[in-house]
């Protein structure tokens, strides 16, 4: 007897998105295939399902049995494991006391202290938050970043959260940001439906998310827009809450890649003398630009996603894209809550979105187009 899986099904457009709880993974299936998977999950016999499918599709029953058997083998006979390997026994790790660097930062009225074992660990965090640095003072939260046994560890308020290998720095940075946003807004990880690798630009009423592959111009477009009347809500790390599905402000600086300097230096001459960071393991050289807001309590609804791309000499192209294509691009670089209730909220929120593709080379045309999106004039 096949083991029942914990699944959610969400028909969107002409496909069905299926969520597998055991590994918090999503797949996109044809509607008929999703229906077969659902029937298998209910414990219905293959022969019964095949007879029904054969009549519906006017297909030989034997062919239907073969297809359904393949589905059973893929999803039930080799089920996804809900066990994760424990790489590190955190009980054996001690938080060091002889740390070389300490920094204090202030976000609104929230002050936190971060200690680092050396300059390398400092470079993973400090550049993004340097604009928030204050003198040593009383603080509400204490982070420690250190290396032991070739692993990078994060401790929060004397509790070790996790450790990461040298090729997992981006996971560490994501977890640091998650712990920070929870502390700032006084909530828990389960209060978010997800965190998205995007740039969030806003006005006083709503937020639009810019998405795209690394190097496509998300952060550059955000920097241009914040110089033209819009607000930087968040860059790279965009959290959305489960209760109202609103984008919350995140106070990190905007990450500016080297190839964007020619575009941005006329707008932000201070970038000429801003420190440059070469993150070899992340394969990028960046400088950091301060966001144009000091109110990091704001949170705004989001109803549009724009997959943006800067392409030299390209004519402006702006069009709606189907949501399944958008979903396929959104998920790989995102963290989505593993909580079933949050998954349903996320899928319902995603279904409500308008999704666009914007390719541009002229900044003024890009600004006008984004303004139309904000004004619901598309």
Instruction: Give the tens place of pLDDT for each residue, 339-351.
Output: 999 999 999 999 9
Domain covering 192-374 assigned CATH 1.20.1730 in the classification: no
For the chain, the distance separating the N- and C-terminal CA atoms, rounded to the nearest angstrom, is 53
Residue % of the chain over a pLDDT of 90: 81
User: Predicted confidence band at 146 (pLDDT cuts at 50, 70, 90)?
Assistant: very high
Instruction: Name the residue with higher pLDDT: 277 or 289.
Output: 289
pLDDT in tens, 41-71: 999 999 999 999 999 999 999 999 999 999 9
State residue 84's pLDDT score: 47
For the record, the structure tokens of 307 come out as 């997959």
Rounded to whole angstroms, how far apart are CA atoms 358 and 317?
6
Q: Kindly tell me if the per-residue pLDDT of 155 is higher than 90.
A: yes
Q: Is pLDDT above 80 for 332?
A: yes
Q: Can you give the pLDDT at residue 158?
A: 94
Edge-first strand order for the sheet with 254-257 is 254-257, 284-289, 277-279
What's the DSSP call for residue 269? G
Average pLDDT over residues 115-143: 94
User: For residue range 168-227, what is the model confidence (pLDDT) as tens digits?
Assistant: 888 999 999 999 999 998 889 999 999 999 999 999 899 999 999 888 899 999 999 999
pLDDT at 114 over 70: yes
Rounded average pLDDT over 282-306: 90
């Amino acid at each position: 007897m096949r083991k029942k899986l914990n699944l959610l099904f969400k028909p969107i457009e002409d496909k069905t998105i299926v969520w597998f709880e055991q590994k918090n993974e999503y797949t996109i299936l044809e509607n008929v295939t999703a229906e077969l998977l659902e029937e298998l999950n209910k414990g219905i016999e293959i022969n019964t399902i095949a007879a029904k499918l054969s009549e519906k599709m006017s297909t030989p029953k034997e062919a239907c049995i073969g297809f359904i058997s393949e589905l059973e083998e893929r999803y039930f006979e080799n089920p996804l494991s809900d066990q994760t390997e424990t790489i590190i026994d955190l009980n054996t790790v001690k938080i060091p006391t002889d740390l070389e660097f300490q920094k204090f930062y202030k976000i609104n009225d929230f002050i936190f202290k971060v200690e680092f074992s050396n300059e390398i660990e400092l470079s993973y965090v400090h550049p993004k938050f340097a604009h928030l640095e204050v003198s040593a003072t009383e603080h509400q939260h204490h982070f420690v970043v250190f290396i032991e046994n070739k692993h990078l560890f994060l401790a929060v308020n004397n509790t070790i959260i996790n450790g990461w290998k040298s090729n997992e720095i981006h996971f560490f940075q994501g977890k640091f940001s998650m712990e920070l946003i929870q502390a700032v807004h006084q909530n828990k990880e389960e209060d978010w439906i997800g965190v998205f690798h995007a740039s969030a630009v806003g006005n006083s009423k709503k937020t639009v998310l810019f998405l795209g592959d690394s190097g496509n111009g998300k952060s550059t477009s955000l920097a241009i827009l914040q110089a033209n009347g819009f607000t930087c809500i968040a860059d790279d790390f965009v959290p959305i809450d489960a209760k109202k599905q609103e984008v919350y402000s995140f106070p990190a600086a905007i990450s500016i890649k080297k190839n964007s300097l020619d575009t941005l230096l006329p707008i932000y001459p201070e970038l000429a003398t801003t420190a440059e960071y070469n993150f070899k393991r992340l394969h990028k050289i960046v400088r950091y630009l301060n966001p144009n807001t000091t109110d990091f309590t704001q949170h705004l609804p989001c109803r549009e996603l724009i997959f943006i791309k800067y392409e030299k000499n390209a004519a402006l192209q702006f069009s709606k894209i189907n949501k399944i294509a958008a979903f396929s691009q959104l998920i790989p670089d995102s963290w989505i809550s593993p909580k079933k209730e949050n998954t349903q909220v996320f899928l319902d929120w995603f279904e409500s979105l308008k999704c666009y593709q914007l390719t541009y080379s002229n900044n003024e045309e890009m600004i006008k187009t984004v303004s139309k999106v904000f004004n619901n004039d598309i």
